[in-house]
Amino acid sequence: MSAGPELEAVLGWLWAHLGEAAARAEHGFRFPVVAVGGEEVSAATVTLRALWFFADARGGRIALIRRAPRIAWAFYGGALGVQLRASGPSTVHCRDARARALWEQTPLSSRRAYLAPAAPGTPSPGPTSGLPGPVEGRVPSEEEARPGFANFAVVETRVERLDWLALDRAGNRRARFLWTGEGFSGEWLTP
């Protein structure tokens, strides 16, 4: 079944709002939860950049994605009254041209996170930012940030499935869209 006029409008709305959320920090979809893993599942809130996000290459989440590359994204736009789930296979970019291009576009204040000597999740004797002393509390220079690229990963998802749920006191509405290889095919679902 191909998407009818109303389904096409929903699909267009979804892509428009995902694009807007990637560009505007105050958009309700800006901080989705991403779930990864097979037997072991890891879920975390990330900053939407498109349908990709940054992570520390040394972290357990990256190891899980490499073992089981299918990722599920969950968005909730409270003011929009919409819940969106997206899923598909993902690719980890680390120390490649894609990672380099996005690293160079990333503010130095964000690059600082990848300078931590210990991997995310490493036990610590007390509360810590994990950052090396010379850059804690300040933005590093380009030269100081450079070593962080070795720990920088970009995780990019190719969306194959979208599930849209519009929450409404008068009655919820739900639709699913599946990638056919040529485009998305949509159908209405019972919420």
Instruction: Determine the pLDDT at residue 3.
Output: 52
167: left (phi over 0), alpha (psi -120 to 50) or beta: beta
**Quick one: pLDDT band at residue 35, thresholds 50, 70, 90?**
confident
The residue-averaged pLDDT of 21-50 equals: 78
> In this structure, are residues 38 and 67 in contact, taking their beta carbons and an 8 Å threshold?
yes
Residue 149 lies in a domain: no
Instruction: Determine the pLDDT at residue 185.
Output: 92
Look up the domain containing 77 and give its range.
5-92+156-189
CB atoms within 10 A of CB 103: 20
**Quick one: pLDDT band at residue 46, thresholds 50, 70, 90?**
low
Q: What are the distances in angstroms from CA 24 to CA 39, 47, 86, 142, 180?
A: 35, 11, 19, 25, 30
Per-residue pLDDT tens over the stretch 99-120: 999 999 999 999 999 999 999 9
Per-residue pLDDT tens over the stretch 57-91: 999 889 999 998 999 999 998 888 999 999 999 99
Nearest Cα to Cα of residue 112 among 139, 133, 137, 94: 139
Give me the CATH number covering residue 35: 2.30.110.10
pTM for the whole structure: 0.83
Tokens of 133: 């002393």
Residue 78 lies in a domain: yes
What is the amino acid identity at position 156? E
Cα-Cα end-to-end distance for the chain = 19
In the chain, what percentage of residues exceed pLDDT 70?
A: 93
> In this structure, are residues 111 and 153 in contact, taking their beta carbons and an 8 Å threshold?
no
> In this structure, are residues 165 and 71 in contact, taking their beta carbons and an 8 Å threshold?
no
Number of structural domains in the chain: 1
